[in-house]
Structure 1
Amino acid sequence: MAPSYLSSSGTPEALPQALTASALKTVSAFKNLSPKQWTFRYAPEKWTPGMILQHLIDTEHIFTYRALCFSRADKTVLPGFDENAYAKIYNQMDLEPEKTCHAFSVTRAATLQLFEACSPLMLGYSGTANNTQWTVNELGWAIVNHNVHHLQILQTQYLSKL
């Protein structure tokens, strides 16, 4: 079952602007972190802001793959993914702030292109991923809402504690 913040959806016409706006806010928030803030954990088992940004990138890749499949009328049922298994690998990655922010920007540019290339009909196509029925439009809004959710966490759980 998807978290409730992923289920909120807007109009297809508003999606490109929402993707662009959330990307600008995200890059601004993460690029302005000090080295201490970039590696801060508010509890031992929690992710660092750098890990959160990589999580946003990974999740966006997965959601855009789902959107690509469904927009092409592919009815293959797609699996979920274990975000915590992915996060364990982040310790092995070079999550340097500038490179990770750039990776996010490049990922978002590709995401925007995918959704802008979809016709209104294609945005209404649907499929199943992680035992949940999604339209292509809903996946686009899930990317935006997931992004906003983690920006709120960055503000309330990280920046407010430093």
Structure 2
Amino acid sequence: MKPSPKDYHPYYKMYIDLIDSEDIVSVLENQIDEFNDFAAGLTAYDFNRRYSEGKWSVKEIIVHLIDTERIFVYRMLSAARNDGSDLKSFDQEFYVSNSDCREISHRLLIEDFINQRKSTISFLRTLTDEMWHRKGDIGGYPFNVSAGAYIIAGHFIHHINFIKENYF
């Protein structure tokens, strides 16, 4: 079920390569516990920490993870339903800068991440085997449902590892 390179833009290879498992739904489920363990060790101060001036705070990275997952679920839905639309890419900097996440409590962000992830998993469980291989387009590049699930999981690993290595 792991996607082949023809199923996604080459940029996403770095995320997909972080996943060894063929059971992507289990990987996504296990990341809920990993996220809970990670977040439980942080204080409100930690969530607002930046590793360098002008870089995203931990809170902003979590907002970015949530936004990206929502967008990729829409892309997967579009492909799974044979929509045929060429979907646009999105500007992550624009989304984060317009999130006003400083006003959101870290506890609410934790809850939002978990709820989004559970919704993603629920959606993926409704798909037939054929739907997992259906394709759409993002900015003129192919994209299939399986690739979307792997990108979400790998994107999570990338950012959580980055936080652990650079923020604390």
Shift, 1:44, TM fit: 1.2
State how many pairs are aligned.
159
Partner of 1:145: 154
Partner of 1:75: 84
- Structure 1 distance, partners of 2:133, 2:19, is 12
Partner of 2:64: 55
What percentage of aligned pairs have identical amino acids? 23
Give a deviation string over 1:123-147, Cα, whole Å, max 9, x none: 0001111332111011001000000
Cα distance change, pair 105–96 in 1 and its aligned pair in 2 (3 A):
same
Shift, 1:11, TM fit: 8.8
Shift, 1:6, TM fit: 3.1
How do 1:31-50 residues align onto structure 2 when only pairs under 5 Å count? 31-50=40-59
Could you tell me which runs of 5 or more consecutive residues in structure 1 were left unpaired when the two chains were aligned.
none
**Please, what is the CA RMSD of the aligned residues?**
2.0
Compare 10-19 and 29-38 and name the one that shifted more.
Answer: 10-19
- Structure 2 distance, partners of 1:6, 1:130, is 19
Q: Are the equivalent residues in 2 in contact too, given 1:124–1:136 (CA < 8 A)?
A: yes
Give TM-score scaled by structure 2 length: 0.87
Cα distance change, pair 30–45 in 1 and its aligned pair in 2 (3 A):
same
Could you tell me which runs of 5 or more consecutive residues in structure 2 were left unpaired when the two chains were aligned.
1-8
Partner of 2:33: 24
Give TM-score scaled by structure 1 length: 0.90
Name which of 87, 96, 100 aligns with 1:91.
100
Moved over 2 A (4+): 1-4, 6-13, 90-95
Shift, 1:37, TM fit: 1.1
